[in-house]
Amino acid sequence: MNITIIGLGVIGGSLGLAIKQNNPRAIITGVGKQQRITAALQRGAIDYGALSISAAVHDADIVFICTPVYTIISMLFEIAKNIKTNTIVTDVGSTKSEITTAAKKIFRTKGIFVGGHPMAGSEGKGIDFADPLMFQNATYVLCVEQHQKKKISALTTLLYSIGARVLFLSANEHDTVAATISHLPQLVAVAMMNLAGKKNKNNPAFLQLAAGGFRDITRIASSPYEMWKDILSTNSNEIRSVLREFSAALNVFEKDLRYPKTRQRFARQFITAKTLRDAIPKNSKGFLHPLYEVYVSVDDKPGVLSRLTTELFKANINIKDIELLKIRDGRGGTFRLSFDSKNESGQAERVLKKAQIKVL
């Protein structure tokens, strides 16, 4: 299979590494600036490099476009002009409606375009932060019409091979959902951070005390604007709509805080929010269904984690996700282990108990 990756940053580099690791016979050509091509070759993410799109896509079976949204749109015509009749072309843009609308007009006689969005990433930037495990268990959204699903089986098979979980949505569905669960939180985090910063000018206690929940909520405020400017532009209608809904909810809170009687409504709001939050799969990597969890308590000693994972490896049990929940320095900690089935989680419990590892 000949694969072309246009854009050799974190996502493009990670795709290359993941594909090479799981499909060693695939031949990958990377398109980008010479410096990035050299770095991608050194990391083993690509087999060949090309400075022009036309030279890179003419023999490709699948083309991944891993650039910002407007850059993706600007490349579509040149890609469509140079590909084979049945080449699958897909992107990784964070919004889908404008891209898929443009693609429908361009890919009429050659190629099959599929809007894509892997729900994965890194806070680092560039090929140095590429990770072959980035797509393991991550939801990978594909926006394709029903009658085209069979025609893109090579793409879905490839994505499954790198550990992704494919979810089919329309472009409009994707952008509506993304506005609420991704774009709104980003703007809220930016607004909260800037509000605290403004108040901090008169009283440095605001940022001195900005830890715990505030730091967790505003973590994504560190995201670079360069990554967000195309997202805010291409999904502005959906984002404006959800901002109005969110503003209305905050206005209700403000009104309810005025009087003792209405303040009682907060109890219902908190209970509802907790119920909904608890219903979300405990992993936060975009899993399509809940995993089965096992909690273990271990001592704070060198090699403990290695022993735990080795016991499960020897039993051929695959850990889908692992998280350190609590740590008591010098004493121990609690790990949450996630497995794909109830049977696997039960087997894991038995293996760990037999190894005298404390299961909670």
What's the pLDDT tens digit per position in 181-209?
899 999 999 999 999 999 999 999 999 88
pLDDT exceeds cutoff 90 at 312:
yes
Name the band, by pLDDT with cuts 50, 70 and 90, for residue 123: low
Top CATH class of 292-359 equals: alpha beta
Please provide residue 99's backbone torsions phi and psi, each rounded to the nearest 5 degrees. Answer: -65, -50
The Cα–Cα gap between 360 and 346 comes to 13
pLDDT for 97 equals 96
Q: How many CA atoms lie within 13 A of 167 on its CB side?
A: 17
Query: Looking at residue 318, what DSSP letter applies?
Result: -
pLDDT for 322 equals 83
pLDDT for 38 equals 96
Residue corresponding to tokens 């072959």 = 132
Share of the chain above pLDDT 90, in %: 64
pLDDT exceeds cutoff 70 at 285:
no
What ranges do the domains of the chain cover?
2-169, 173-256, 292-359
Structure tokens at 254: 């403000």
Q: Which residue has the higher pLDDT, 52 or 288?
A: 52
Task: Pick the closest to residue 46 from 60, 65, 61, 26 (CA basis).
Answer: 26
pLDDT exceeds cutoff 50 at 329:
yes
pLDDT for 212 equals 72
pTM, full prediction: 0.74
The Cα–Cα gap between 19 and 200 comes to 47
pLDDT for 287 equals 34
Report pLDDT digits (tens) over 133-189. 889 888 999 998 888 889 999 999 999 999 999 999 999 999 999 999 899 999 999
pLDDT exceeds cutoff 80 at 246:
yes
pLDDT for 152 equals 95
pLDDT for 289 equals 46
Rg of the chain in Å (alpha carbons) = 23
pLDDT exceeds cutoff 80 at 124:
no
Question: Which range (22-26, 195-199, 259-263) has the least confidence?
Answer: 259-263
Please provide residue 6's backbone torsions phi and psi, each rounded to the nearest 5 degrees. Answer: -100, 115
Task: State the sign of the Cα–Cα–Cα–Cα dihedral 161, 167, 169, 175.
Answer: negative
Q: Give how far Cα 115 sits from Cα of 103, 210, 294, 326, Å.
A: 9, 39, 36, 40
CATH T-level fold of 173-256: 6-phosphogluconate dehydrogenase C-terminal fold (1.10.3660)
Residues in a beta bridge with 177: none
Q: Give how far Cα 59 sits from Cα of 7, 72, 85, 224, Å.
A: 18, 20, 10, 35
Name the band, by pLDDT with cuts 50, 70 and 90, for residue 288: very low
pLDDT exceeds cutoff 60 at 64:
yes
Query: Looking at residue 281, what DSSP letter applies?
Result: -
What is the residue type of 231? I
Residues in a beta bridge with 187: none
Q: 3-state class of 163 per DSSP?
A: coil
pLDDT for 284 equals 44
CATH T-level fold of 2-169: Rossmann fold (3.40.50)
Mean pLDDT on 299-316 = 89
